[in-house]
Amino acid sequence: SQTIHQWPATLVQPVGSPLSLECTVEGTSNPNLYWYRQAAGRGLQLLFYSVGIGQISSEVPQNLSASRPQDRQFILSSKKLLLSDSGFYLCAWSVLAGPNQPQHFGDGTRLSIL
């Protein structure tokens, strides 16, 4: 069966520090990968998606970037964090073959910026 791992679960960072969040998927090949941010009391906002190694599309302009160095690894980064980057970050995957597949989520990273 497929599993998705995100780490760390919780992170507290000072303003202006760098960020690296990692997500890996097991049990499937060539998945679509996604990064979302969820603000308190709000739905999920898609930040980035990837259909293959090195292929990244951004949904919203922001202080963050994403990379996919391996087929089942997706990384969310920032060079200098802002207070507004606080939130709950979720990684998700879906089957690549066929566009109409549901997405499955990891358990997220709760990021607090001080």
Partner 1 sequence: QKEVEQDPGPLSVPEGAIVSLNCTYSNSAFQYFMWYRQYSRKGPELLMYTYSSGNKEDGRFTAQVDKSSKYISLFIRDSQPSDSATYLCAMRRAGGTSYGKLTFGQGTILTVHP
Residues of the shown chain interacting with partner 1 in the complex, contacts defined by CB under 8 A: 6, 32, 34, 41-44, 46, 49, 51, 57, 59, 90, 92, 94, 96, 99-108, 110
Residue 79 beta carbon to partner 1: minimum distance, rounded to whole angstroms: 26
Residue 34 beta carbon to partner 1: minimum distance, rounded to whole angstroms: 8
Strand partners of residue 22: 7, 75
Strand partners of residue 48: 35, 58
Residue 82 or 101 with smaller CB distance to partner 1:
101
Longest Cα–Cα distance of the chain, Å, equals: 42
Rounded Cα distance between 10 and 105, Å, is: 16
Residue 64 beta carbon to partner 1: minimum distance, rounded to whole angstroms: 18
Strand partners of residue 78: 19
Residue 55 or 84 with smaller CB distance to partner 1:
55
Residue 20 or 30 with smaller CB distance to partner 1:
30
Smallest Cα–Cα separation from 32: which of 93, 89, 88, 74?
Answer: 93
